[in-house]
Amino acid sequence: NKILEKIGEFGIVPVVKIEKAEDALPLGKALIDGDLPIAEITFRTSAAEESIKSLTKELPTLLVGAGTVLTIEQVKEAVSAGAKFIVSPGFNPKVVDYCIENSIPVTPGINNPTQIEMALERGIEVVKYFPAEASGGLPLLKSMSAPYTGIKFIPTGGINQNNLCSYLSDNKVLACGGSWMVK
């Protein structure tokens, strides 16, 4: 998947909560100027859909995805607005299956082996490890992922400039998500 390859090249996914849609473009430009042309816009505010729409229209070099996606309706809104990938905090089979059936790159949240197996059963190669630090951090990720080959993780939740390099040094980590660089 080319989207996931791009995410792996960047190594970091800025997780962005935008309160006002007019703040989206300056933020997107700053990410591009900072050589990190990617943003996961969370569906935690009413400005999410409009923010995705303006970013994808005005800044075509910015890779824009939608985060905190909880429902199929939000998937439809995000994709209609231009989101190139979907991220969810948990593993909602209905949301995941809808994305797979419609060829929409999806990274569901997991924090246990059962959820990893649910992802593998569906052919998913990348999952979000969330909430990373609260779930046990890198030690849990290493022990939990040991039996599984062919799956990569995007740890998110508690990732910051102090622990980022530790996570990225693990060969099963594709990238890390966080909000520390966009606050």
Whether 22 sits among the annotated catalytic residues: the reply is no
Annotated catalytic residue: which of 17, 40, 133, 152? 40
The pair of three-digit structure tokens given for residue 170, joined into one six-digit string: 């693990």
Annotated catalytic residue: which of 17, 53, 128, 152? 128
Whether 49 sits among the annotated catalytic residues: the reply is no
- Give catalytic residues, as residue numbers: 40, 128
